[in-house]
Structures are given as structure tokens and as C-alpha cells.
Amino acid sequence: METRRKPLAKLGGRRRMPASGLTIAWRRTRGLDDWVAYIAKTKSAKLILADRASERKVKSLLTRMRTMSKREVVKLAKG
């Protein structure tokens, strides 16, 4: 007998970080369980923070970035 899977909560979202003032967006890629997090609304190209990562890694990254300054977040994205 086939069991039904619990539906996934959010497939993406946006959050404004209080310390840096940056808006971070994240989403799940289609067909795979890979997640991507990036800085939204930048004048230059999108700065990607995490690519092909698990949901847990993206969520923990968002938690860590709440206290980081803008300079630290941009350095993390470029690194």
C-alpha cells in the first residue's frame, strides 16, 4: 500500500535581514530537492549565497545571517 507524503511547506520565500537590511530570497528547484538562496534586489548580478544545498542548510544559513552586517553577507556571497 502506498503511503501519502506530507506536502512540503513553502517552496520559497523572502526575508529582510534586520542587521544588514538586505532582502534574502530562497526557493526550491523544480524536480529536485535542491535549494538556492540569493540576495534579492541588487543592482548588479544576483549574488548567490547557497546553490544546490539542502533545505536545512539554507534555513540555518538564514538564521546565521540575521546578525551579520551587510559587508559580511556580501563577502559570503562572493566567496
- Residue 2 located in a structural domain: no
Reference 25, options 54, 9, 44, 49; nearest CA is 49
Structural domain range at position 34: 13-78
**pLDDT band at residue 28 using 50, 70 and 90 as cut-offs:** confident
C-alpha torsion angle, residues 78, 59, 46, 34 (rounded to 10): 100
| Cβ atoms of residues 12 and 27 within 8 Å | yes
The three cell numbers locating residue 69: 552586517
Residue at 50 is within a domain: yes
Q: What is the pTM of this model?
A: 0.75
pLDDT at 25: 92
Number of domain units in the chain: 1
Does some domain include residue 48?
Answer: yes
| Assigned C-alpha cell, 25 | 530570497
- Note the pLDDT tens digit of each residue in 43-76: 666 789 998 898 899 999 999 999 999 999 989 9
In the β-sheet with 47-53, what is the strand arrangement from edge to edge? 12-16, 23-28, 35-40, 47-53
> Do the domain assignments include residue 7?
no
